[in-house]
Structure 1
Amino acid sequence: MKKILIAIAVASSLLTGCTTTNQAVLGTTKSQVELRSFQSRAFDTTDKAFVLRSVVSTMQDLGFIIDKADTTLGTVSGTNYVVPISKLTVSVRDNKEKKQIIVRASGQVGVNPIDTPKAYQNFFNALSQSLFLEAHNVE
């Protein structure tokens, strides 16, 4: 009976430890669902290449130097070397059911993740303007 109680105690302490470690690794106290809610936007287009080009343009307009861009995976990563140094990774994927493109951005300043909605709102506002201007051939 003692062995069973010890095993239960060890198992429960390991499970509790995982929760704390997970939050420490992510560097934020916000839930992933909450983060995803302001890190993602849907755009009413099915042209993934067009959206990727707009993401690159927007990031460059915001002062980011593009480190990697992969059209097959639909990802763009860039670094802004203004102090403090910040990084931004954007993924673009199809939502064929709704005929939309889903764009998700994830950023960090220094070693800390960006977990405030305002920074992402600024990026998505600039991206929306870029998509509109490019769709209407405005330079």
Structure 2
Amino acid sequence: MNRSALLAALCCLLPLAACQTDSRQQVLATDKSQVALRAVQTRAFDTTDRNLTIRTVIATLQDLGFVVDKADEVLGTVSGTKMSGYTMRMTVTVRARGTTQMAVRASAQYNITAVSDAEPYQQFFAALEKAMFLTANEVD
């Protein structure tokens, strides 16, 4: 009885092992070089106010239809999800770049695949640049 139960359990679990995806394959699955992708994902802004930059990132994500899932002021990260016929998750990191700038890097995933197409990043940064300009000039 014990042996047949073990055999039945193995038969049930074996097909599940074939469905597992290798996370290393997902990380290396981008079709652009990492340097080129980083250049698309990163912009520098002439400000030293990290908190204001994070708040502007949150507002920009919301304006683009993202629901902000998590914002961590200490780490300087904001994550949001957009669900309109598809699921896109974007994580934005804000960090100091020298003494006069903030570097903002966005990383997007479509379902479980990293987004290497420049268009979503260009849309995000175009909206963020406008918002940063308006915020810097105190226009509401």
State the TM-score, normalized to the length of structure 2. 0.79
Q: Which residue of 1 aligns with 2:116?
A: 115
Cα separation, 1, equivalents of 2:34 and 2:82: 25
Stretches (4+) displaced over 2 A: none
Q: Which residue of 2 aligns with 1:31?
A: 33
Counterpart amino acid of 1:60? Q
Secondary structure at the aligned position of 1:36 is classed as: helix
Whether 1:101 aligns to 2:114 is: no
Q: Deviations over 1:66-103 (max 9, x none)?
A: 00000100000000111111100000000134x10000
- 1:67-86 equivalent positions in 2, closer than 5 A: 67-86=69-88
C-alpha contact (below 8 Å) 2:31/2:116 kept by paired residues:
no
C-alpha displacement of 1:121 = 1.1
Secondary structure at the aligned position of 1:87 is classed as: strand
Whether 1:44 aligns to 2:67 is: no
Give RMSD over aligned pairs. 1.3
Cα separation, 2, equivalents of 1:61 and 1:29: 29
Counterpart amino acid of 1:133? L
Cα separation, 2, equivalents of 1:117 and 1:78: 18
Aligned sequence identity (%): 46
Counterpart amino acid of 1:36? R
C-alpha contact (below 8 Å) 2:109/2:115 kept by paired residues:
yes
State the TM-score, normalized to the length of structure 1. 0.79
